[in-house]
Amino acid sequence: GAVVSQHPSWVICKSGTSVKIECRSLDFQATTMFWYRQFPKQSLMLMATSNEGSKATYEQGVEKDKFLINHASLTLSTLTVTSAHPEDSSFYICSASFAGGTDTQYFGPGTRLTVL
Amino acid sequence: GQQLNQSPQSMFIQEGEDVSMNCTSSSIFNTWLWYKQDPGEGPVLLIALYKAGELTSNGRLTAQFGITRKDSFLNISASIPSDVGIYFCAGQPSKSSGDKLTFGTGTRLAVRP
């Protein structure tokens, strides 16, 4: 199956700093990538949908100026958490899908963000 | 955001037992998916369902797409210790992989050897 990687797998940062998380599709071209956030013992909540070359579409309640998404190529999307605060500590997971197919989304392994 | 109702929330069973869990929605989905998530990892797709009434198996797993398109069921037969994890259903409005998923609340499965 298709492989999606995320980097870093975990990060610890100080409050007020910015953190960038990368999501890569390793063996396919992904026209659409999705970013999810998962708090402990909870489900995955979609944050935004990212299409290559265009602006991301954010879900209601997700601040686009705080969670910057860039999908500059068909194999890479980045999520930058700006001015991170402890309440942003969470498990961030991306997924990627093939262009125009009925194939499913493939999920990355997740990035654990801890803001001190 | 919207979440699908999944039940039970958790199950603690004996190895070898069968497991059933279900997922319901107030709205229609045209694709239902079942995922398993191990601690600290991303979800892994188990079964995808694309047609109302469809019954699909993957080894010891069987899932069904409800006729009303508002629910789905997952059964695991003869459970083994490695079945431990969190199982999530997910609904998608269309059959396109570019469509966003709505996840269920999850069922946490523990298996006693």
Write the pLDDT tens digit of every residue in A93-115: 999 987 655 567 889 999 999 99
Q: How far is CA A77 from CA A49, A82, A104, in A?
A: 10, 16, 18
**CB contact at 8 A, A98 and A30:** yes
B29: tokens are: 């989905």
As a whole number of angstroms, the distance between CA A91 and CA A37 comes to: 6
The widest CA-to-CA distance across chain B, in whole angstroms, is: 40
pLDDT at B1 exceeding the cut of 90: no
Write the pLDDT tens digit of every residue in B34-88: 999 999 999 999 999 999 999 999 999 999 999 999 999 999 999 999 999 999 9
Q: What is the pLDDT of residue A107?
A: 93
- A46:B1 CB<8 A: yes
**CB contact at 8 A, A103 and B97:** yes
In chain A, residues with a C-beta closer than 8 Å to the C-beta of B45 are 104, 106-107
The SS3 call for residue B82 is helix
User: For the residues B96-100, what does the mean pLDDT come to?
Assistant: 72
Residue by residue, DSSP assigns B20-73 as EEEEE-SS--SEEEEEEE-TTS--EEEEEE-STT-EEEETTEEEEE-TTSSEEE
- A110:B101 CB<8 A: no
Write the pLDDT tens digit of every residue in A66-89: 999 998 888 999 999 999 999 999
**CB contact at 8 A, B88 and B106:** yes
In chain A, residues with a C-beta closer than 8 Å to the C-beta of B95 are 102
- Cβ-based neighbours of B76, under 8 Å, separated by 6 or more: B18, B19, B20, B60, B61, B83, B109
Q: How many CB pairs under 8 A join A and B?
A: 66
Q: Does A46 touch chain B (CB under 8 A)?
A: yes
Which of A49, A94, A104, A106 is best to mutate for the B interface (most B CBs within 10 A)? A104
Q: What is the pLDDT of residue A55?
A: 87
pLDDT band at B93 (very low <50, low <70, confident <90, very high): confident
Q: Which one of A46, A93, A103 has the shortest CB-CB distance to B42? A: A93
Residues 77-106 in A contacting B (C-alpha not used; CB under 8 Å): 91, 93, 95, 97-106
Q: Does B51 touch chain A (CB under 8 A)?
A: no
- Cβ-based neighbours of B59, under 8 Å, separated by 6 or more: none
> How many residues would you count in chain A?
116
pLDDT at B92 exceeding the cut of 80: yes
CA distance to partner chain A, nearest, from residue B50 (Å):
9
Beta strands B107-112 and B10-14 are parallel
b/e sequence A77-116, b meaning 16+ C-beta within 10 Å: bbbebeebeeebbbbbbbbbbbeeeebbbbbbbbbebebe
Within 10 angstroms of residue B17's Cβ, the number of other Cβ atoms is 13
Q: Which one of A32, A61, A109 has the shortest CB-CB distance to B98? A: A32
As a whole number of angstroms, the distance between CA A67 and CA A113 comes to: 13
